Amino acid sequence: MLKMMKKIALFCLAGLTVVLSSCGLNSGNGELVGSINRPIFRPFIPFGMVYIPSGTYHTGQSDQDINYSQIAHNRQISISAFYMDETEITNNEYRQFTEYVRDSIVKKTLGGEHIMQDADGKEFLNWKTRINIKDPAVMEAISELYYPEEERIFGRKEIDVRKLIYHSEWMDFVAAANKSNRDKSRATFVIKEDVPIYPDTLAFLSDFSYSMNDPMVEKYFWHPAYDEYPVVGVSWKQARVFTVWRTKMLENFKHEEGEANMNQFRLPTESEFEYASRGGRVGADYGWGGPYVRNSKGCLVANFKPGRGSYGEDGGMQTVKVTSYFPNDFGLYNMSGNVAEWTSTAYDESANVFFHDLNPNYSYEAKSEDPEVLKRKVIKGGSWKDIGYFLQNGTRTYEYQDTAKSYVGFRCVMSYMGRSIGDE
């Protein structure tokens, strides 16, 4: 009987606590109990990603420093846990992004049931309504989005991809953390930019002189045959804005479910990429672990340029499907070869000397008027057109952030919230 009375008393006390908290009067009954009514947080591994545990690795110059550049000094680096896409972002995954932007423009143009308002009267898109982009009435309503008459082929009405522009907003924490900027308005560090997001499909021609790559220009990004191939022709800014869109997409879903957000998707740092590529192995030259580019049967284990140009010997003349070849010990595919990949790290020859040994990253937000040398971003992993040297874990090289290449793609990461998996 006494036990039952205690249960009733506790139940009443819990009910009273809820009532008081709803009125903003909860004092925790005089005890420090923390804020209540917090959102639910259910950690999970994002679809298509793998968990990379915290750890330490040794970075340093590869054994074959063909340029004698000596820009990768030996250091011990510690990396916090994170999630990483198991493959490069595919054409089909990036196409979801381009179709989202296209549909956003169409819905805004059509208005009506496609536009909703929140409690504050702010308009937002209603994604529950469907549109048929080939409906004659829809095509007529959005006629301004199509290529002008003189740019059409056989009179086909096609969306002008130059109009596919994504509005991005993000916080420049690096600039905000500078002590000389602490008294400045928050607006100073909120970066707003509109980025054209359609891949440069002409890269297959512009990257190589006198090369007949017309079929790749015409078919590579949109044809179903290449759905599971890595997206290329994407600049560094386009890759970054993809991570912003992917973050917003997940955050909107979590909001509808009444759950707390996870960390943002982003590009990996150079150190994260190298750590993940090594797969937990010490002193591994390549992503698969060994010092050789062939297995015990003599077969090449990555997509690159063998010998003096025997491109097809590894099974692919150019890019191959993102799940080709065996994954490394972390379960990541093509961390060496297929396409080189953008990182968030700005390229500086002496970076290994001055960066911190815990989650190092040198970043710089280059402006359009900055000299070209400040627009260099580190790419890692090597590609289908590179010799084996560029596939090595310790190799450092770069491309300019405003260029798009037929041999550079990307994948996303997300910082893990906690010390290690299982701690939540």
CATH number at residue 370: 3.90.1580.10
42 occurs within a structural domain? no
Q: How many CB atoms lie within 10 A of CB 259?
A: 14
Q: What is the pTM of this model?
A: 0.88
In a domain, 140, yes or no: no
127 part of a folded domain: no
pLDDT for the residue 2: 46
Query: What pLDDT is stored for residue 240 in this prediction?
Result: 96
Q: Is residue 273 part of a domain?
A: yes
Are 239 and 342 contacting, i.e. CB atoms less than 8 angstroms apart? yes
pLDDT of residue 50: 97
At 249, which amino acid appears? M
Residue 283 domain boundaries: 55-90+200-424
Give the containing element (helix H, strand E) for 77. Answer: strand 75-79
39 DSSP 8-state letter: P
Helix (H, G, I), strand (E, B) or coil at 361: coil
- What are the tokens at 217? 């220009």
- Whether the CA torsion 349, 54, 342, 62 is positive or negative: it is positive
Structural domain includes residue 173: no
Does 47 map to a domain? no
The C-alpha atoms of residue 102 and residue 120 are separated, in whole angstroms, by 26
Q: What are phi and psi of 242, to 5 degrees?
A: -60, -40
Residue 17, pLDDT score: 45
Cβ 268 vs Cβ 84: under 8 Å: yes
| Any domain includes 419 | yes
Task: Work out how many domains the chain is built from and give that number.
Answer: 1
Residue 219 gets which letter from DSSP?
H
3, two tokens? 């036990």
Question: Which pLDDT does position 276 carry in this prediction?
Answer: 97
Asked if the structure places residue 386 within a domain, the reply is yes
Q: List per-residue pLDDT tens for the chain, 424 residues long.
A: 444 554 444 444 444 444 444 455 555 678 888 888 888 787 889 999 999 999 999 886 555 555 555 666 778 899 999 999 999 999 999 999 999 999 999 888 888 888 888 777 778 888 888 888 888 888 888 888 889 999 999 988 888 999 999 999 888 888 888 889 888 999 988 989 999 999 999 999 999 989 999 999 999 999 999 999 999 999 999 999 999 999 999 998 888 888 888 999 999 999 999 999 999 998 888 888 878 899 888 899 999 999 888 999 998 999 999 999 999 999 999 999 999 999 999 999 877 777 788 999 998 888 889 999 999 999 999 999 999 989 999 888 999 999 999 999 999 999 998 776 766 5
pLDDT computed for residue 100 by the predictor: 94
